[in-house]
Each structure stands twice: as structure tokens, then as C-alpha cells.
Amino acid sequence: MKIKAVNGFKDILPDDALRRQHIEQTARDIFARFGMQEIRTPILEKTELFARSIGEATDIVEKEMYTFVDKGITMRPEATASILRAFIEHGLHVRQPVHRLYTIGPMFRHERPQKGRLRQFHQMDVEVIGANEPQVDAELMAMGQMLLDTLGVTVSLEINSLGCPACRPGFRDKLMAYLNQHKESLCPDCRRRMNVNPLRTLDCKNRNCKDLVQDAPSILDSLCNDCRDHFVSVKQTLDLLGVAYRVNRFMVRGLDYYTRTTFEFITDALGAQAAVGAGGRYDGLLRQLNGPDLPGIGFALGMERLVLLMEQQEDATPPKPTTDLFVAVLGEKAAEHASILVHRLRKLGLTAAMDYSGRSLKAQMKQAGRLNSRFTLIIGEDELACNEGVLRDMNTQEQSKFSLSLPMDEQAQHMTALLSA
Ligand code: ATP
Ligand code: MG
């Protein structure tokens, strides 16, 4: 029996990897413009880190984590907790007041695999630690939007405020009172979790629950003055920056640590997997992890969903890589000459390839086409005899002679000059 990959864990084949490289490169470029620095943390963390940050009563911690129970470690389901752990562990706040960090890598959640939902998936995650200004919230959303625009994917931005420890309990009570009145109409899930985390009922997918919460009290009416001012400034700054958004008072996010601003980049092109990216503010989280009392905000974009969206939009396809020169050879002597030339060209920075298997010239020209070669150098027995290869421009089919009698170094330099002309 053939051994296959584990369900929900996917190989990233070359074409897919190419698209991801393009996405990552674009992201790194744009993140750098916003002063973001890369951080890389381990895949494994102490289980307690996620229980204490994401929250015990969340889907992630309750049922989605890959945990080695005997070792007390877990494969990270998201990046925020790990980045904050590293931030605190290395006392980064001592060096400078605000840190802008990002990381790109795999995350692991035991969910039901489907389109846009895997067990190993990849996120581009951004965190700004040490800034509580609403302008920063707007700037981060603007950055996310800039990246998505640059990649050519269409999404809409939804925002909400979840208040803070001063005003959320009041809202919670109001919501509880409302839910208790309508308990019988709630789905079993919501009935169970309404006592632990009643806010979660607000984004339940169940039809009845959805209808019911339409008339529930709005968190936006319960915000304290500080949270209200903050939210107003976030919206104003988004307007100033020309970033379109929609306020969605039902957005709650599945993680316990969020405060104030939360946001999602959503699409209707991926069925139930509507969120391409999501994030929010977590002002109490660092202290909750025994770190300095610093505010923070971040978001993560899902790579797989981005790839799916880009595949639906052909103009977003990254260009196929090219080979500068393919050397087609006939006979051992020609092959030896070519192998030296190819190696020197590679040393000089060109992408060069040749055939080692002694195939026909026709087969080798086909291979040159597959490699998207700009030029092909043909060295057969005749060419070797008169010390002149035939250089063919694969676009125009024009041919010229290329001297094989110069010292190898000079041949390589000559070729480099010809190809970059
Ligand atoms: P969802 O509601 O789709 O489960 P989420 O709220 O659990 O998403 P976050 O924890 O906010 O997602 O993660 C941020 C982004 O990471 C999501 O918007 C999505 O693009 C991506 N993501 C999350 N879980 C998965 C997964 N299992 N497979 C692929 N991408 C995922
Ligand atoms: Mg989820």
C-alpha cells in the first residue's frame, strides 16, 4: 500500500509554491514599508500558553489543538500567543517602546478539512505591541488592504468594537438577559456556551440564532466613553486613508483575548470560509501572560484562502520563471564543454540548464521550451568541429554564432553580456 499524506495536511507542489513565494514576497515588501520586522518562533509551545491566551472556552483550545498530552506541548494553532511569549521572554520592550513584528509560517488546527480549511495551514501574521492609538488600528487595516489590493484579490473589510473590561461585562449582562428570554429558540451549541461566552451567539451560523440576535442589544450602544472615542477615531482614520469598511456589530471573533477594535477581511467567493484575514486589539493580553502592561493589536491572513482567491482571478497569476540559457548538446565532448559553461554562467548569476541524458536534439529543444528558456545554445558535433555553437533567441528564432574557442571564463562573460543586452 502506498503511504499518503495525513488528512488535512497538504503538499505544496512547485506551481503552488511559486504562487506562495509571490504572495510572501509581496507581503514582506509591503510590511517593510510599514516598519514591520520579521520574527520567527518555534512550532511547538507549552500547551498552557494557548490555554491562557486564546481562552479555555474557545473552539481552538476546546477541540482544535494538536497537543502531545504526555509532554504538555502543543503545535501552535496561531501566532499571536507565540510572538507575545517571545516578546516577554526576551524583554523586547526594554529596548524600544513600540514593536512592529510579523511572521509567516504554518499553523495547526484539528478541524474538518475542506476547501480553504486545512489542518496545517499557513498564516501571515502581524503584531504591533506597545501602541494604543486608534490610528495604529486603522494603519494596520490599511496595510492589510494594500496587500490584498496589490495581490489583486477583492475583499471587504468589516470592523467592530468589543469594548474593554470596563464596559463589556455590562453588555454581557444585557445580552444574557436577552438570550435567557429566548433560550428555547437557540441552537444547542449556543444554549451551552451562552453561560460561558454569550458573545459567541452573535456570530452563530444557525438560521434561528442569526434571526434571534438581529434584535439583541448592540455592543456598540454599551461602549464606555473611551472605547467609543477609540472606535470613532478608528473609523475617522480609515476614512482619511481612503479605506472602505462596513461596521458589523455581530462580529465577535473566536478568541477570548480581543478588546476594542476587531476586524475581518471577508469574501463571498469561498463559501463558508468567508474570512481571508482577521484580527483585533488585545490590550490586556500581555499582562495576562505575566508580561509588561502593554497594549497590542494584530491580524493574520490565511495563505490558502488567498491562493484560492487568486486562482479565481487569472490576472493575479504570477509569471512563470524563465531560464536564461538552455544548452542543447550532442555527444560527450559537447556535453563536457556545456557542463563547464553552464556552471560558470550560474556562478555569474544566470539561470542555465542542459541535458545530461543524451536525448535527441528535438527532445532537448522541447525541454528548453518547457523551461521557458530565453535562449538556446546548440552544440553538436559540427559546431564542436568548427568551434562555433549556434545561439538561438527562442522568442524571435533568430540565430547567431557563438565562439567556443575562447577560454571558458571569457565564453561565460561573453554569453552573460549577450544575454543581458
Ligand atoms: P474561521 O472562522 O474560518 O474558522 P478563524 O476565525 O478561526 O477563521 P483566525 O483564527 O482569525 O481564523 O485566523 C486568521 C485567518 O487564518 C483566517 O481568516 C483564515 O484565512 C485563516 N485560517 C484559519 N483557520 C484556517 C484553517 N483551518 N485552514 C486554512 N486557513 C485558516
Ligand atoms: Mg476557526
pLDDT band at 317 (very low <50, low <70, confident <90, very high): low
pLDDT band at 57 (very low <50, low <70, confident <90, very high): confident
Domain boundaries for CATH 3.40.50.800 within the chain: 323-415
Alpha helices in 98-224 (DSSP H): 134-151, 168-181, 188-193, 207-213
Residue 314, pLDDT above cutoff 80: no
Residue 104, pLDDT above cutoff 80: yes
What is the DSSP pairing of strand 323-329 with strand 352-354? parallel
Residue 315, pLDDT above cutoff 70: no
55: left (phi over 0), alpha (psi -120 to 50) or beta: left
C-alpha cell recorded at residue 100: 512592529
pLDDT at 421: 80
Cβ of residue 20 lying under 6 Å from some atom of ligand 1: no
- DSSP letter for 291, please: S
pLDDT at 194: 85
Closest CA to 64 of 121, 26, 148: 121
- Angle CA 401–406–412, to nearest 5: 80
What CA–CA distance (Å, rounded) separates 121 from 105? 8
The bound ligand whose nearest atom lies closest to the alpha carbon of 307 is 1
| 3 state SS of 27 | helix
What CA–CA distance (Å, rounded) separates 14 from 19? 9
Of 59, 205, 305, the one to substitute when testing ligand 1's pocket (max ligand atoms within 8 A of C-beta) is 305
- Work out the angle between the directed axes of helices 408-420 and 332-347 (0-180°, nearest 10): 60
Ligand 1 atom index nearest CA of 109? 27
pLDDT band at 58 (very low <50, low <70, confident <90, very high): confident
**Residue 292 near residue 319, CB atoms below 8 Å:** no
- DSSP letter for 257, please: T
Closest CA to 376 of 418, 317, 413: 418
**Among protein residues, the one whose CA lies closest to atom 8 of ligand 1:** 275
The mean predicted confidence, pLDDT, of the chain is 94
> How far apart are the CA of 315 and the centre of ligand 1, in A?
25
pLDDT at 272: 86
Residue 316, pLDDT above cutoff 70: no
Cβ of residue 64 lying under 6 Å from some atom of ligand 1: no
pLDDT at 95: 86
Class of the domain covering 14-167+223-316: alpha beta
Distances (CA, A) of 377 to 136, 167, 390, 421: 55, 73, 6, 16
What CA–CA distance (Å, rounded) separates 304 from 371? 27
Distances (CA, A) of 316 to 21, 115, 153, 278, 328: 13, 20, 8, 22, 33
Q: How many helices (H) and strands (E) does the chain have?
A: 15, 16
Cβ of residue 292 lying under 6 Å from some atom of ligand 1: no
Ligand 1 atom index nearest CA of 59? 7
The bound ligand whose nearest atom lies closest to the alpha carbon of 279 is 1
The model's pTM: 0.92
pLDDT band at 321 (very low <50, low <70, confident <90, very high): confident
DSSP H or E segment with residue 105? strand 99-108
Which residues make Cβ contacts (< 8 Å) with residue 141, sequence separation at least 6?
A: 157, 159, 238, 243, 245, 263, 299
Of 62, 104, 117, the one to substitute when testing ligand 1's pocket (max ligand atoms within 8 A of C-beta) is 117
Q: Which amino acid is at 239?
A: D
What is the DSSP pairing of strand 99-108 with strand 37-38? parallel
Model confidence over 363-420: pLDDT tens digits? Answer: 999 999 999 999 999 999 899 999 999 999 999 999 999 999 999 999 999 999 999 8
In this structure, whether the domain defined by 323-415 belongs to CATH 3.30.450.190 is answered with no
Ligand 1 atom index nearest CA of 264? 18
Domain boundaries for CATH 3.30.930.10 within the chain: 14-167+223-316
What's the average model confidence in pLDDT over 162-183? 93
For 324, half-sphere exposure in the C-beta direction (CA atoms, 13 angstrom radius) is 17
**Residue 104 near residue 127, CB atoms below 8 Å:** no
Cβ of residue 109 lying under 6 Å from some atom of ligand 1: yes
pLDDT at 256: 73
Distances (CA, A) of 257 to 11, 253, 270, 355, 389: 32, 9, 27, 57, 67
C-alpha cell recorded at residue 362: 528535438
